[in-house]
Structure 1
Amino acid sequence: MKLSNSFSGALRTFSYFMASGTHYNLVGIDYLPLYGDEPSAIEQVFAIYANVIEMDENGKVLNSKYAEIRATDYLKQYCNENFKVEPPYKDWELELY
């Protein structure tokens, strides 16, 4: 089975804004250096995104913005010790497969 066009588009868009340093939820956070200096932080962001995103039986993405927020909030917390993710992550959201 191939990934749906809906998921491919959502992933491509998320990846673009993450890689360009222009994600709307990360304004003012200098996270681009993490790509070279601390890649495991970026790995965790994409794991959260993949774990949280939901699709219907036809592969249509149902919650792309929510998945982005959950994923990027991890970086906010990682880069700013005063930021707390709400609600706190569940174990399944943080799993690395």
Structure 2
Amino acid sequence: MKLSNSLSGTIRTFAYFMSSGSHYMLKGINYLELYGTDPSAIEQVYAIFINVLEVDNEGTVLNAHYAQRRATDYLKAYCDPNFKVQPAYEDWEVELYGPPPLKDLI
């Protein structure tokens, strides 16, 4: 099974705005430097985004805005200690799953 167009487009769009420094939920936050100096912060943002995304039976993304909000709030709190994420993250939202195998399964 391949990713749906909806899911692929949602992930691609989030990646573009994150890597270009132009994500509208992060105005005023200088986060681009983290890509070179603290990649684990960026890794956590993507993990939260992917963990929070929900799709229906056809693969249509149901909560792209909410997933982006949860992910970008992590970065806001990371860059600004006065910013508090509400509600606090649940363990499943911030879980970092293992990497893929070194060889493809197919």
Instruction: Judge same fold: TM > 0.5, yes or no.
Output: yes
The whole-number CA distance in structure 2 between the counterparts of 1:12 and 1:78 is 23
Moved segments of 4+, more than 2 Å: none
Counterpart mapping for 1:5-44 below 5 A? 5-44=5-44
- Name the structure where helix makes up a greater proportion of residues: 1
SS at match of 2:2: coil
- 1:13 CA drift (Å): 0.6
Once the two structures are superposed, what CA deviation does each residue of 1:42-81 show, in whole Å capped at 9, x if it has no partner?
Answer: 0000000010000000000000010000000000000000
Amino acid at match of 1:94: V
Q: RMSD in angstroms over aligned alpha carbons?
A: 0.4
Amino acid at match of 1:62: L
User: How does the TM-score come out when normalised to structure 1?
Assistant: 0.99
In structure 1, stretches of 5+ residues that fail to align are: none
User: How does the TM-score come out when normalised to structure 2?
Assistant: 0.91
Counterpart mapping for 1:47-86 below 5 A? 47-86=47-86
In structure 2, stretches of 5+ residues that fail to align are: 98-106
Identity, % of aligned pairs?
68
